A = this chain, B = another copy of it.
Amino acid sequence: MLRITVLAGGVGASRFLRGLVHAAPDADITVIGNTADDITLHGLHVSPDLDTVMYTLGGGVEESQGWGRAGESFAVADELAAYGAQPQWFTLGDRDIATHIVRTQMLAAGYRLSAVTEALCDRWRPGVRLLPMTDDRVETHVVVRPEDGGDTQPSAIHFQEWWIRLHAEVPAERIVLVGVDRSAPAPGVLEAIENADVVLLPPSNPVVSIGPILAVPGVRDAVAATTAPVVGLSPIVGGAPVRGMADAALRVIGVPATASDVAGIFADVLDGWLVDEADAEAVAAVESSGVRCRAVPLLMRDVPATAAMASTALELAAERREGSGA
């Protein structure tokens, strides 16, 4: 049985995973989810990326947006607003809140996030093993300088506030993964990378989704050291993110939003990289850095199209394995 390990952000990764499950129905898939987007809202522990994977693969996601629960209602949020409870820039749906209540209560009872995630998945049965990158608290903060303030000191705000409230429109000076240097990989994370037959980086945000996972001490080294081929898919198509605001995040770290430059971020761990046909001219540049590269359609229009992407990624991985075996 093919053991596939995937480092996952939220919406992009979840859609890719649905295609992967379709393309490799018999594979043993472990998903290592980003938890640096996690945020405490109204006293509830929210894990947006883990939940997006869980809801999507478990059949509970709101398809039209790719996150949140289908058939969602907002009675609690309306009431919280009536009380003037802050923040009001992040709206939690009623169904979604139940997930956060269960998670918060289990964490308060002393369970680790990995155990909580496993318990939540008992209900959703996503068909993959979902692991948080770490059981420790890591939060992506963004250092911003208010545009109107000449002498104003820069301030660090939670990534979600920059992303959702400010639409990533306020220029960011730096992205800081608070707590990451003191974090440890969650149980099973390093083993899943070491024992994998294939490691995949789906078209997630390279800076704030894949980046934090690789920044957990030991993870990047494990991905570089694993005997499994490591294949990624570009989240940048034609010089722009397929969805989301990856370009804004790339700008912060000074990396141009191109399919080949994003490959460069992961060059030390990559064996293969898929770019969209629109970026065919990037293939040579990527391959010159020692990474096999292929240009194929990378738009996740539907499950079959996404499954084809996943199949191509697995083929590219198999080439490396055969090549290294020869």
CB A83 to nearest CB in B, in angstroms, measures 5
Residue from the list B44, B97, B102 in contact with A85, Cβ < 8 A: B102
Count of chain A residues with Cβ under 8 Å from any Cβ of B? 26
Contact A79 B105 (CB under 8 A): no
Number of copies: 2
A115 touches B (CB below 8 Å): no
Residue of B nearest to A40 (CB): B105
Residue from the list B44, B73, B83 in contact with A120, Cβ < 8 A: B83
CB A111 to nearest CB in B, in angstroms, measures 12
Residues of B within 8 Å of A79, CB to CB, are: 94-95, 97-99
| 30 chain-A/chain-B pairs, Cβ below 8 angstroms | A42-B105, A43-B101, A43-B104, A43-B108, A44-B101, A73-B73, A73-B75, A75-B94, A75-B98, A76-B76, A76-B95, A76-B97, A76-B98, A79-B94, A79-B97, A79-B98, A79-B99, A80-B98, A80-B101, A82-B98, A83-B98, A83-B99, A83-B123, A84-B123, A85-B98, A85-B101, A85-B102, A85-B105, A94-B94, A97-B97
* Known A73-B73, A83-B99; further 15 A-B contacts with Cβ < 8 A: A42-B105, A43-B108, A44-B101, A73-B94, A75-B94, A76-B76, A76-B94, A76-B98, A77-B98, A79-B94, A79-B98, A80-B98, A83-B102, A83-B120, A84-B123
Q: Which of A's residues lie within 8 Å of B, judged by CB?
A: 42-44, 73, 75-80, 82-85, 94-95, 97-99, 101-102, 104-105, 108, 120, 123
